[in-house]
A = this chain, B = another copy of it.
Amino acid sequence: MPGRLDRIDLKVLRLLQNSGRLTNAELAETAGVSAATCHRRTQRLFDEGFIAGVRAMVAPRKVGKGALVMVGVVLDRSTPESFAAFERAIARLKFVLDCHLVAGDFDYFLKIRVGDMEDFNRIHGEQLIALPGVRQTRTFFVMKEVVDNAPLDF
C-alpha cells in the first residue's frame, strides 16, 4: 500500500463520498487547508486509487429500473472452468449490479435491477437460467429497499 491517510485525507475522502461534486475551494475550506494543498491531496487520492471513481447516482425509478431482485445461483459443477465461464457470461449482463462468489448454500449471489416483475420473469427465463453451468436459481423479489448502497463507513 503506497501511502497512509492522515486526518485531512480522511476528511476529503468522506466529503467526496457524500458530495462528489464539491469544488476544490469548498473542500479546502471544510478541511481547513489551502486550496493548493487540498488540490494536491485530492489528486493523490485519485492517483493512488483511494477513489476508484466518482459516480452520479441515478434514481432507479426515474429511469424505469424500479424493481430489485436478489438471486441465488447454484452451478452444476464446482470446477474452476465452470466458474470462469459463468463469470464471463455474467459480465455481459448489464442488469446485474452485483455478482459475488459466496461460501454456503449457493455458489453465486446476484443483485439485479429491472423495470418490473414481468421484466424479470422474461430475463430469468431467457438469460439467467441459460447461463453456462447453471443448475438452479432461487429468486428473492425485493419488496422494500430499506437501505440501498449505503456509503462506506471508514
Contact = CB atoms under 8 A, between A and B. Distances in A.
Interface of A: 1, 5, 13, 16-21, 49-60, 62-65, 68, 70, 87, 90-91, 94-106, 108-109, 111, 113, 138-154
Given A49-B62, A59-B50, A95-B153, A68 B13 contact: no
Contacts of A144: 100-101
Contacts of A1: 62
Nearest to A15: B56
Nearest to A138: B104
- How many identical chains are in the complex? 2
Contact of A150 (B97, B147, B150): B97
A151 B55 contact: yes
B70 A109 contact: yes
B54 A138 contact: no
Contacts of A95: 153
14 contacts: A19-B54, A20-B21, A63-B152, A63-B154, A68-B100, A94-B153, A96-B150, A97-B150, A98-B149, A101-B144, A102-B142, A104-B139, A106-B140, A108-B146
Max chain B CB contacts within 10 Å: which of A56, A70, A109, A153? A56
A36 to B, nearest CB: 18
